[in-house]
Amino acid sequence: MKGSCLHTHTLFCDGKADVESMCAEAARIGLQAIGFSAHAPLPELFPEESPSWHLPGERLGEYARTVREARERWSGRLDVFLGLEIDYIRGRCGPADGRFDSLGLDYSIGSVHYLFPENGSKPFTVDGSREEWEAGADEGYDGDPTAVARAYWKAMAEMAEAGGFDIIGHLDLVKKNNRGGRRFDEKGPAYREAAMEAIEAIARGGFIVEVNTGGMNRGSIAEAYPASWMLDELRSRSVRVIVAADAHAPSHLGGYYEEARGTLRAAGYSTEVGLVGRKIWKDFPL
């Protein structure tokens, strides 16, 4: 397989280009397949206005039609798949809800971006701005960054236990605001024990884990998601993987794929999966 990218965003949510432009670039660089995974609409959960980077619910049908029309146009040149990136927000919503079953998605990505602190303070995103992260930790977790990380991993484990999706999105996204270990110790037992609970749940559920180069593409982190030690643990549990760029622009497609595949080989992987039909996965050599 020449490679694929099943984690992409367009102007329907927070991407910078339309579906056709993304398809054209995918074909130009020699990808065999592209999948569109707009940030799925959220239910009314937020005390203020809902985040603007999600696909509006009223455009869901238009999004699906646009991707399916692109599939027809590119038939024989590029495989085009319809997906969504669906957020798990503990106790509120998640991929297992079945809210998007009627769309007949080819695949879906389950991700954790949001934390809703149990003390009722304002929800926040773990990959947002430094100011948002620090305010969320201060107000929701008594200023304890490690507690934020534990809450993230708890949500990830719960999402895996609940199911309803195919691919785990950016597994250790919580590290985005932790460059250099500025907030919590990623090598410490509290962090790793919480992460391992999620990894065990992922392995039990048979999910695919993406090796996501999005943070590298946008210059926010120096390595892919997940960390190399997590790939070692995933490999030892026979968890399947797929490389994806989390592309928000055509220029992101294929970005840092060779680095990601090198990390996978170092962890003992020799294959990654590819989508070859609706919910049909096949192993391909790295």
Q: Whose CA is closest to 225, among 154, 127, 137?
A: 127
Ordered by where they begin, the domains of the chain are 4-285 (3.20.20.140)
Whether pLDDT at 46 is above 80: no
Other beta carbons less than 10 A from residue 45's beta carbon: 14
**What pLDDT score was predicted for residue 47?**
58
Residue 48: pLDDT band (50, 70, 90) is low
CA atoms of 70 and 85, how far apart (whole Å)? 19
State the residue for tokens 């250790």: 172
The residue among 196, 35, 179, 206 whose CA lies nearest residue 107 is 35
Q: What are the pLDDT digits (tens) for 103-161?
A: 999 999 999 999 999 999 999 999 999 999 999 999 999 999 999 999 999 999 999 99
Residue 181 CB: number of other CB atoms within 10 A? 12
The answer to whether 271 touches 264, Cβ cutoff 8 Å, is no
Share of the chain above pLDDT 90, in %: 93
What is the reported pTM?
Answer: 0.97
Over the chain, what is the mean pLDDT? 96
Task: Sort residue 216 into left (φ over 0), alpha (ψ -120 to 50) or beta.
Answer: alpha
pLDDT value at position 91?
87
pLDDT recorded at residue 49: 63
- State the DSSP H helix or E strand holding residue 282, giving kind and residue range, or none if neither: strand 280-285
- Alpha-carbon distance of 132 to 154, in angstroms, equals 20
Residue 190 DSSP SS3: helix
